[in-house]
Amino acid sequence: MPRPQLAEFMRRMEPGSVAIIPAAREVTRSHDTEYRFRQDSDFYYLTGFREPDAVAVVAPSREKPFTLFVRPRDREKEIWNGRRAGVEGARERYGADEAFPVEEFDAKLTELLDGAGSLYYRLGGGHAELDQTLIRQLSRMRMMGRRGVRAPQTIIDPGALIHEMRLVKSDEEVALMQRSADIAAEGHREAMVSARPGMREYEIDALVEYVFRRAGAAAPAYNSIVGSGANATILHYVDNDAELKDGDLLLIDAGAEYEGFASDITRTFPVNGRFTEAQRDIYQLVLDCQEECVRAVKPGVTLEGMHERSVEILTEGMVRLGLLKGETARLIEEGQYKKFYMHRLGHYLGMDVHDAGAYHVGGRPRPVEPGMVMTVEPGVYVAEDAEDIPDKYRGIGVRIEDDVLVTADGYRVLTDKAPKRVEEIEALMAGGRKK
Ligand code: GLY
Ligand code: MN
Ligand code: MN
């Protein structure tokens, strides 16, 4: 039996069509070593199969609808590089109706595609070799028309179906995302009780990753950002090598990948455990904005609308603090707030940290629905060399990010185990600090 996700995908495919969904390939890191393997999200979603160099062929109208091409068992290779499911495992453990060694994929293509009206395949989806193979195959099949071979007439991006399915999470998926969020929150708490002046950002980075891995997460869901002082104003700072200074803030944007699902949390806290007045001014503004935007989440609202609200709140605050001067409406119209708030409020979250799914439908911002998960992550970043602003705010960067599930009547914050109120953070850091 294929997994329910694949069964649903087959129900949504056009009658008489065939889909080709490739697994991820191993990627060289240097010379003869590879990056840690990470399965393609769409492939994993449909098949649950974790190995590289596989291809799923799905043909719902056929007698044997689900074929997996996989690396065959190989005693020598398995001694060196690890176990393989092989063709037997593909059938027995992953519900394939048929399975073949992946080397036979090209030779079987004509038979697999013959008579299919439409082919679901993501051209330009990062599988350049397979793109070429399929293009060659289609033109060969068109030449064979007199022999009765019929090439597919239409090529459809399967993302349109799979990504819509991935966007709305099942109860089981929400449970995995909750676990991923709990693990990430634990990592952030560990960072708060461990940070102190004199440590390096990479020590905190390593501690957070240790907590993730200890809890069974495969890895961070993306490269963790651990930025102290003015490094917090660099949005995708990943050097993580500076010394933590007394009196500085530390911004950590780190999430775990657990059973294929990402979490994505940002917390910003003082290295010495107490916010200065200037840090608190900016922090409280971002927190008020973040909490108001989280509270707004319910079916029917749009990420676009929420982003616009975050711009209003932050721009008003920037005027209050003296970061901007003038009338709020005009500052928004002219985009002046982008000097200090240059990204969007949030994004979908799921198997990918910036998850699949359309943000606009019919040219309009899409209303959210129960089962969708998104981040809410406003920030204010004041560059060290910002001009015409109070001195005390230079070099302060604050972002606060939670993962929020849309429920039937509102929302649930998956990441609420990571403290974010000023008093909560200061209390945790005062009470729980490690020696
Ligand atoms: N960590 C990536 C993001 O917050 O979107
Ligand atoms: Mn995010
Ligand atoms: Mn993030």
Judged against a pLDDT cut of 70, whether residue 434 lies above it is answered with no
How many separate domains does the chain show? 2
Q: If you average pLDDT over residues 187-196, what whole number do you get? A: 98
Same domain, 135 and 195: no
Judged against a pLDDT cut of 90, whether residue 433 lies above it is answered with no
How far, in Å, from the CA of 91 to the mean position of ligand 1? Answer: 38
pLDDT of residue 138: 95
Domain boundary among 145, 164, 183: 164
Same domain, 357 and 399: yes
pLDDT 10s digits, 37-49? 999 999 999 999 9
Q: If you average pLDDT over residues 80-108, what whole number do you get? A: 96
Q: Which of 401, 402, 404 to mutate to test the pocket of ligand 1 (most atoms within 8 A of CB)?
A: 401
Same domain, 200 and 135: no
For ligand 1, atom 3: residue with the closest CA: 264
Burial, 200: exposed, middle or buried (Cβ in 10 Å; 0-12, 13-18, 19+)?
middle
Residues with CB under 6 A from ligand 1: 222, 253, 264, 347, 353, 377, 401
Same domain, 81 and 174: no
Same domain, 282 and 409: yes
Residues with Cβ–ion distance below 5 A, ligand 2: 264, 375
CATH number for position 37: 3.40.350.10
pTM metric for this prediction: 0.96
The parent domain of residue 217 ranges over 168-434
pLDDT of residue 1: 73
pLDDT 10s digits, 124-181? 999 999 999 999 999 999 999 899 999 999 999 999 999 999 999 999 999 999 999 9
Same domain, 45 and 107: yes
Per-residue pLDDT band at 64 (split at 50, 70, 90):
very high
Domain boundary among 124, 146, 164: 164
Q: If you average pLDDT over residues 326-350, what whole number do you get? A: 98
CATH number for position 172: 3.90.230.10
What backbone torsions phi and psi does residue 87 show, to the nearest 5 degrees? Answer: -65, -35
Same domain, 87 and 158: yes
Q: How many of the other CB atoms lie within 10 Å of CB of 111? A: 9
How far, in Å, from the CA of 253 to the mean position of ligand 2? Answer: 8
pLDDT of residue 2: 78
Percent of the chain with pLDDT over 70: 99
Judged against a pLDDT cut of 70, whether residue 435 lies above it is answered with no
Domain boundary among 141, 164, 187: 164
- What span, in angstroms and rounded, lies between the C-alpha atoms of 198 and 220? 25
Name which residue leads in pLDDT, 433 or 248: 248
Same domain, 160 and 186: no
DSSP-based three-state secondary structure for 375: strand
Judged against a pLDDT cut of 70, whether residue 324 lies above it is answered with yes
Same domain, 139 and 209: no
Question: Average model confidence (pLDDT) for the chain?
Answer: 97
Residue 231 and residue 238 in contact, taking contact as beta carbons nearer than 8 Å: no
Q: Any idea what DSSP says for residue 367? A: B
Closest to 269 measured CA to CA, from 292, 256, 251 = 251
pLDDT of residue 248: 98
Same domain, 136 and 28: yes
How far, in Å, from the CA of 347 to the mean position of ligand 3? Answer: 10
For ligand 1, atom 4: residue with the closest CA: 264
Same domain, 153 and 206: no
- What span, in angstroms and rounded, lies between the C-alpha atoms of 223 and 212? 13
Judged against a pLDDT cut of 80, whether residue 363 lies above it is answered with yes
pLDDT 10s digits, 270-307? 999 999 999 999 999 999 999 999 999 999 999 999 99
Same domain, 172 and 160: no
Q: If you average pLDDT over residues 206-228, what whole number do you get? A: 98
